[in-house]
Amino acid sequence: MQSFRYVALLILASAACGPLSLPGKAGPAMRMPPLSSGQKAAIGAKIWRNECGGTVDGLTTWNAGEEFPSLGIGHFIWYPAGFRGRFEESWPAFVHFARQRGVEVPAVGMQRHAPWATKAAFEAEFRSPRMSGLRAWLAAHVPLQTEFIIARSRGALPRVLAAAPAGDRARLQANYDKVASTPQGTYALIDYVNFKGDGTQVAERYQGKGWGLLQVIGGMREVPAGPAAAVEFSASAKRMLGRRIDHSPPGRGEARWREGWFNRCDTYARPL
């Protein structure tokens, strides 16, 4: 459980911190505007549709071509024992987040590593009592998962600014602030960090090219704040994901995900 605590505490510390000043940056980093309960519910429902088609069965998934299962409305990654992938493992952090709030997690979800070593083993147990129970628990705790996803996103900007060259920080913050100026843009920022990460991890790149929040706000063209910024964030996200597909290892076959990924980014260009 030590690694659960370590990862989660990093996330929560970033989410809870106040404005962050960095050398070479033109001011404190903006905190994401507060959200109403209705806006949070709308964001959680959108993320559930984005990741799982809004279905209960989709709350426990093992995607074709991947080496690990993904759980919950945010498809939190959970690695089997002995496997260490390039993407951030988020299920352990969510488990700690839930327990810190006094919510008991089903026993199967408390294990340090995913208990299924292969996709075949996962699918063979899909209708078992323990996996069905896990899905029921996840379906009953959508607001908790939404809060976790929001916390991760709120902690992303300080990491992005810290990882960026000093000369880029003012523009990155300005673009973030423009997108965050509307509920529509706030949803885009929250969903994208859950979807593709903050872009600061060198391991999460192909041929040195990343596709996370850092790269998306860095790749935005000049637009005013408001809905136009959310539209441009959507367009930049599609450019970065297209680049990811072009640079991905051929064996992963990532081109098959292009349409779905782009459809998801299109939701950022529409009102919440």
Query: 146-157 pLDDT, tens per residue?
Result: 999 998 888 899
Does residue 10 register a pLDDT over 60?
Answer: no
Residue 221's pLDDT is what?
Answer: 98
Residue 188's pLDDT is what?
Answer: 95
* Cα angle 244-272-145, degrees, rounded to a multiple of 5: 70
**Confidence class of residue 84 from pLDDT cuts 50, 70 and 90?**
confident
Does residue 141 register a pLDDT over 70?
Answer: yes
φ and ψ at residue 80, rounded to 5 degrees: -70, 160
30 compared with 50, residue with greater pLDDT: 50
Residue 18's pLDDT is what?
Answer: 38
Does residue 28 register a pLDDT over 50?
Answer: no
Residue 14's pLDDT is what?
Answer: 38
> Rounded to whole angstroms, how far apart are CA atoms 12 and 152?
8
Does residue 23 register a pLDDT over 90?
Answer: no
User: Tokens 């916390």 belong to which residue?
Assistant: 151
8-state DSSP, 56: S
**What is the CB neighbour count within 10 angstroms for residue 199?**
24
Residue 161 tokens read as 């600014």
Residue 15's pLDDT is what?
Answer: 39
- Percent of the chain past pLDDT 70, that is, above it, reads 88
Per-chain mean pLDDT for the chain? 88
| C-beta of residue 75 within 8 angstroms of C-beta of residue 61 | yes
Q: What is the dihedral of CA 205, 211, 215, 219, to 10 degrees?
A: 130
8-state DSSP, 257: G
Give residues with Cβ within 8 angstroms of 13, minimum separation 6: 155
Average pLDDT over residues 96-119: 96
Entry pTM: 0.78
Does residue 29 register a pLDDT over 80?
Answer: no
Does residue 203 register a pLDDT over 90?
Answer: no
* Cα angle 65-80-144, degrees, rounded to a multiple of 5: 95
Residue 31's pLDDT is what?
Answer: 60
Query: If you write DSSP's letter for every residue of 145-166 in order, what string do you get?
Result: HHHHHHHHHHTHHHHHHHHS-G
